[in-house]
Structure 1
């Protein structure tokens, strides 16, 4: 974006972004939070130790055992920031049956 105030105002209106958010982003871009970076490195280490199977809950639990106060959602944001994806398969999900079971008929019509 251009530094001219009128163009910034028009572009912010066009993209429905508050001007204050634009100026905040300009002021804080490139600033790295060292605590967040340290947590991210620990999350990467936990993920690699589990051979890629650790998810957000596992990483949050491990970080809490190490003395960090991290919840599941913060662990998920750390994973997203670091580009980590769990290779663990999801739990079984029941499929909606297309036809009625031959073993047990659906008497309650559920």
Structure 2
């Protein structure tokens, strides 16, 4: 059986390239070598290179860890605000209906 090749939208690909580029730019501005950063993350240098190229096959947690270690902001300008933003999202989710599935058609078995 042939493996299915995953395709990504243009926006997704561009966002990955942008994040990777920001990580690489910031790493270089801070004069951190690929070897040093990859060691801090606990990954191979080749994986860091994939992150910096925007390869979608890299685990998102590794991309975020690389970003955090070099100081690229994730979702908010100040990391201390993440907890309050998470709480706000959970509050908004709590206001939504529990289920988004269509209701099942109830079978009438009353003869």
What TM-score, normalized by structure 1, do the two folds share?
Answer: 0.28
Higher-helix-fraction structure: 2
Higher relative contact order (CA 8 A, sep 6+): 2
What TM-score, normalized by structure 2, do the two folds share?
Answer: 0.28
- Structure of greater Rg: 1
